[in-house]
A and B are shown apart, each in its own frame.
Chain A
Amino acid sequence: MIAWRGSGRLIVWLVLSWIMGSGQISQARGSDLQGPTLDGRIAPCMVCHGDQGRAGRDAYYPRLAGKPAGYLLNQMHHFRQGRRHYAWMTTLLEPLPEPYLTEIAEHFAQLNPPYAAPTPATLPPEQVALGQRLVMEGDPSRELPACTTCHSTHLMGLQPSIPGLLGLPRGYLIAQIGAWQAGSRRAHTPDCMATIAQKLRPYELAAIAQWLAAQPVPPLAKPALDPARKLPLRCGGVGAA
């Protein structure tokens, strides 16, 4: 009888310690996911994308910090699947499991280091004004929507998957929209950005990039949260976070 009681107590103790123990383990893993250990794991990103992913050392490497997590994850998929081309990104991302990519995307999305100063426009004022008009109003006669309809009114992007357009180098904007025009950058089908980019004339692209890169980023600006917003075109992958 005593032996039975003893073993019963032992079982209760074992069950309790197992429950508490497993709780401790999951807590430890939870803090590990957000904590400093990830920094060491994404050190390879910083060499090109800068400390905290704030910006690259030249226009080719964009800022990662503060972009919507769904957008960052989509880009990682694009590189892996060959819809975007940069062999180093493809190779680095190739062996990484999906939850890890999500974790990395969410990590960069919640960072908010200061932005670099805007680049003053160099084109004549009327051309810069054309850029501003296309960004804010588009060109309805050519079914060209304003950038603000999707990238949000303050142009800092829309959760979960549309990126901001401010705080990016002019050269990067030109290169990316140009890549969309050439078909060397693609997104999920239907690729609405390709449709839009292919309607832009070269001088319009230059004007848009000049105006966007010259805008200061409002302090603490973040991608907007507006699930009810209707997009003017069907866009693949923008709902997928």
Chain B
Amino acid sequence: MIRARFLVLWLAGLLVATMIWLSLGRHGNDGPTPPQTPDSAATIARGEYLARAGHCSGCHSARGGEAFAGGKPIETPFGTVYGSNLTPDHDTGLGRWDATDFWNAMHHGRSRDGRLLTPAFPFTNMTRVTREDSNAIFAWLQTLPAVSNQPPANTLPFPLNTQAAMVVWRALNFRPGVEPPEPDRSELWNRGAYLVRGLGHCEACHAPHNLLGAVVNPPFTSTPLTHEPLKSNLVGGWLPGRDWYAPSLSSASEAGVAEWSTEEIITLLRDGRHDHASASGPMAKVVLNSTQWLTSEDLLAVATYLKSLPPIESPPRKAFLSDSVRSAGQRLYEQHCADCHGTTGNGDPGRYPALAGNRAVALPVAANVVQVVMHGGYAPGTVGNPRPHGMAPYAPLLNDAEVAAVVSYIRGSWGNTAAAVDAQAVGRFRRLRAD
């Protein structure tokens, strides 16, 4: 009975949504159709650059496979989606596509055959990419060696695997269109906004997502604590699977950069580290394969935009650390951590980061520091930092209670005031996936 009622509701919702979708039509900015001339070497080179700026390889290149030949599993809360083959293979890739087909995918989230793509492909951001840039990326992709590789079928459950579900999702979460530049902002700021909000799709991680997995946009974003509406949505978000937290770029206590110099921001995005911060986890891959390749002008533009994000004040916190956890944590810290990070958490600048006053350690959620303690990792090996230092994985060495104790100790010592974690919360991070 409940099931039947649910089905009726669902169908009614679907009908309404379809009507909304049809009424919206495809009023998106289709951009001028370019003349069909052979792409110049400069266009192709720009396409490669833009594909890096968009970190396309992050989803379209699989481990052990050919570059951009797809097949990489992308875990979403709804099922596994596989990155598609972007090489110009006729049967499994984009061999039969033209620049307009590619534009339809980027701008409208539609495949060449008219099929609506799953939003695992961030077309809500890619729709902001200009026709000219879309064409350049396509021109470059067409120069890749054609690789025959048919990615596995997505494993989304019914009804999420239907086109009807895609229609509903779009009606609720998607408006195609390139955003016009903001006239009262500088050209540099607008370029930064274009890269961050469009091609770079930073909000895919750094913004909150709704129950349908869609990025929440202003004016619907609000701080979790004060519920004030915000002008930006880069206020922090969970990565799919909730195994990493992408910290707020608006908050000085998380990863906000309003107080940083543009040079510091540029250094972090280009080299993967600077004196008091480094990129780790998913962001290390973003630096490695995307931001380190940006020109200094584009890095400056991104830095300018990020610095302008409206700041959010975080209320002061007072952490409580029980004596037993403190002593257990301190003992483990001195045994395993102090050699590199120092007995007072002061680190060794340029080699091992300080933990005292470290924003990444004292985030409101402990996920990232638990990940680093359990699974270790190297800073990205970039042109600017080709021989990075790293951290060993301690999951093989420490049990959940020990990881919880040492993480709680680090988060609550030397002036850090972040909340303790317990063994149960830590345990769910123990499994490491190397996709």
Contacting pair B63 A96 (CB below 8 A)? no
A88 near B376: Cβ-Cβ < 8 Å:
yes
| Stretch among B75-83, B150-158, B180-188, B379-387 lining the A interface | B379-387
Asked whether, in the complex, the Cβ of B389 is within 8 Å of the Cβ of A95, the reply is no
User: Cβ of B381 and Cβ of A97 under 8 Å apart?
Assistant: yes
Q: Indicate if the CB atoms of B393 and A47 lie closer than 8 Å.
A: yes
Query: What 8 A-B pairs come out closest when comparing CB atoms?
Result: A47-B392, A44-B392, A90-B434, A82-B64, A87-B434, A81-B64, A97-B381, A87-B432
Is A204 engaged at the interface, CB distance under 8 Å to the other chain?
Answer: no
Nearest-neighbour CB distance to chain A for B430, whole angstroms, equals: 11
Pick the contact of B285: A48, A81, A94 (CB < 8 A).
Answer: A94
Residues A81 and B340 in contact, CB atoms below 8 Å apart: no
- Are A43 and B397 closer than 8 Å at their CB atoms? no
Among B285, B387, B392, point to the contact of A43 (Cβ < 8 A). Answer: B392
Question: Knowing A40-B351, A90-B434, A103-B387 touch, does A95 contact B394 (C-beta < 8 A)?
Answer: no
Q: Given A41-B390, A44-B378, A94-B285, check contact A88 B351 (CB 8 Å).
A: no
Give the residues in chain B near A227, CB-CB below 8 Å.
none
| Minimum CB distance partner of A77 in chain B | B64
In the docked arrangement, what's the CA distance between A117 and B392, Å?
27
A233 within 8 A of B: no
Are the CB atoms of A91 and B434 closer together than 8 Å? yes
B120 within 8 A of A: no
Mark interface residues in B286-328 (1 if CB within 8 Å of A CB, else 0). 0010000000000000000000000000000000000000000
In the complex, which residues of chain A have a beta carbon less than 8 angstroms from the beta carbon of B396? 48, 88
Q: Is the CB of A40 within 8 A of B397?
A: no
A96: chain B residues at CB < 8 Å are: 378, 381, 388
Instruction: From known contacts A91-B375, A91-B377, A91-B432, infer whether A44 and B390 are also in contact, taking CB-CB under 8 Å.
Output: yes
Q: Which of B284, B391, B393, B434 contacts A95 (CB 8 A)?
A: B284
Task: Quote the shortest CB–CB distance from B3 to chain A (angstroms).
Answer: 40
CA of A202 to CA of B5, assembled, Å: 59
How far is the CB of A82 from the nearest CB of chain B, in Å? 4
Q: Which residues between 345 and 362 of chain B lie within 8 Å of chain A, taking CB atoms?
A: 351-352
Distance A97 CA – B381 CA, assembled complex (angstroms) = 6
Contacts of B390 in A (CB 8 A): 41, 43-44, 92
Give the complex CA separation of A46 and B377 in angstroms.
Answer: 14
Contacts of A30 in B (CB 8 A): none
Of residues 106 through 142 on chain B, the ones whose CB sits less than 8 Å from some CB of chain A are none
Are A97 and B389 interface neighbours, CB within 8 A? no
Question: What is the predominant secondary structure among interface residues of chain B facing chain A?
Answer: loop
With A47-B392, A81-B63 in contact, is A92–B381 under 8 Å at CB? no
> A77-91 toward B: CB 8 Å interface, digit per residue (1/0)?
000111101011011
- In the complex, what residue of chain A is closest to B431 when comparing beta carbons? A87
Shortest Cβ gap from B183 to chain A (Å): 40
**Can you sample 22 A-B contacts with CB below 8 Å?**
A40-B340, A40-B389, A41-B387, A41-B389, A41-B390, A43-B340, A44-B391, A47-B392, A47-B397, A48-B392, A48-B393, A48-B396, A81-B63, A82-B63, A88-B375, A92-B376, A92-B378, A95-B284, A95-B288, A96-B378, A96-B388, A100-B388
B→A interface (CB under 8 Å):
63-64, 272, 284-285, 288, 340, 351-352, 375-381, 386-397, 432-434
Cβ of A99 within 8 Å of any chain B Cβ, yes or no, is yes
Please state if B386 and A99 are interface contacts (CB–CB under 8 Å). yes
Against B, the Cβ 8 Å flags (1 = close, 0 = not) of A57-94 are 00000000000000000000000111101011011101
Per the CB 8 Å criterion, the residue count for chain A at the interface is: 25
A43 to B393, CA, bound (A): 11
Report the separation of the CA atoms of residues A175 and B312 in the bound assembly, to the nearest whole angstrom.
53
**Docked pose: A83 CA to B393 CA in angstroms:** 21
CB distance from A90 to the nearest CB of B (A): 4
Residues on A with C-beta less than 8 A from B375 are 87-88, 91
Residue of B nearest to A45 (CB): B392
Complex Cα gap A94–B387 (Å): 13
B392–A100 CB distance below 8 A: no
Contact A87 B376 (CB under 8 A): no
User: In the complex, how many angstroms separate the beta carbon of A24 from the nearest chain B beta carbon?
Assistant: 19
- Residue in chain A with minimal CB distance to B396: A48
CB closest residue in chain B, given A40? B351
CA gap between A44 and B375 in the complex, in Å:
11
Question: Is B394's CB under 8 angstroms from A83's CB?
Answer: no
Give the distance to chain B from A63, nearest Cβ to Cβ, in Å: 17
Query: How many angstroms between the C-alpha atoms of A80 and B387 in the bound complex?
Result: 17
A137 to chain B, nearest CB (A): 36
A95 touches B378 (CB 8 A): yes
Q: Is the CB of A44 within 8 A of B379?
A: no
A87 and B285 contact, Cβ closer than 8 Å, known pairs A47-B392, A47-B393, A97-B381: no
CA distance in complex: A89, B50 (Å): 31
Residue of B nearest to A98 (CB): B381
Using Cβ atoms and an 8 Å threshold, which residues of chain A touch B433? 87
Q: A48, A80, A92, A103 — which one has the most chain B CB atoms within 10 A of its CB?
A: A92
Contacts A43-B392, A95-B380, A96-B378 hold; do A88 and B432 have CB atoms under 8 A apart? yes
Known: A46-B392, A88-B396. 11 other contacts (CB 8 A): A43-B392, A44-B376, A82-B63, A82-B64, A88-B393, A92-B377, A95-B272, A95-B378, A97-B381, A99-B386, A100-B388
Residues of B contacting A100 in the complex (Cβ-Cβ under 8 angstroms):
381, 386-388
Q: For residue A91, which residue of chain B has the nearest CB?
A: B434
**Docked CA distance A48–B381 (Å):** 22
Q: What is the distance, in angstroms, from B391's C-beta to the closest C-beta of chain A? A: 6
A103 to B394, CA, bound (A): 24
* Assembly CA distance A47 to B392 (angstroms): 6
Q: Are B285 and A95 in contact (CB under 8 A)?
A: yes
Q: Which residues of B contact A85 (CB under 8 A)?
A: 434
Kindly report which residue of chain B lies nearest to residue A97, judged by CB atoms.
B381
Give Cα A87 to B396, complex, Å. Answer: 11
Question: How far apart are the CA atoms of A46 and B397 in the complex, in Å?
Answer: 12
